[in-house]
Structure 1
Amino acid sequence: MARRPRRNHSPAFKAKVALAAVRGDKTLAELAQQFDLHPNQITQWRSQLLENAAGVFGAAADSGPPPVDLKALHAKIGELTLENDFLEGALTKAGLLSARR
């Protein structure tokens, strides 16, 4: 029996299947046959939907990464570049760093 190639499902399809599972009108076996999926996949999508449902109403807005201070990062990059250039010049003059890098 040949294996079926891996399928990627769109988020809309996953939501449709998960909502059908939450609704409970049909059994998992019926849903699996209707959508041509494994029942474990439907159960997994259903649990993901139930876990992340609060995010739809704005609770997930707090979970974003903190804002990055680009000025401080650029200053640090400049400082490190200056140090590297200075050390490279000093080591080259001392003969500890070859000029052929």
Structure 2
Amino acid sequence: MESMGKKKPRPRRSFTPGFKAEIVELCRRGDRSVGQIAKDFDLTETAVRLWISQAEVDAGEREGLTSSECVNWPPCAGRTAGCGRTLKSSSGPS
């Protein structure tokens, strides 16, 4: 008997930088919550929040590796939302 209520995981999707930028801009406008925007576009709220954080790093508003730096850093290879590592933590032990 199959268990009811178990959802099949959806396949991993990829999004263009332009699409992510549009979603981030919608969130910054503030007329809808991040959760509502995520729901409207069939995205996870966690992914949208990661895109917002990465956009803040790229704009110099938050510490961390920019998208271009992250592309060239081996532990980040293949990640879509940025590596989430800060420059301080990536430089090794102090």
Q: Which TM-score applies when normalising by structure 2?
A: 0.53
- Cα distance between partner residues in 2 of 1:12 and 1:44: 15
- Cα distance between partner residues in 2 of 1:24 and 1:51: 19
For 1:31, the equivalent position in structure 2 comes to 37
Superposition deviation, residue 53 in structure 1:
1.6
For 1:45, the equivalent position in structure 2 comes to 51
Q: Which runs of 4+ in 1 moved over 4 A?
A: none
Superposition deviation, residue 44 in structure 1:
0.8
For 1:5, the equivalent position in structure 2 comes to 11
- Percent sequence identity over matched residues? 34
Report the RMSD for the aligned CA atoms in angstroms: 1.9
Give 1 or 2: higher helix fraction: 1
Superposition deviation, residue 38 in structure 1:
0.8
Q: Which TM-score applies when normalising by structure 1?
A: 0.50
Gaps of 5+ in 1: 55-59, 64-101
- Cα distance between partner residues in 2 of 1:12 and 1:21: 14
Paired residues in the alignment total: 56
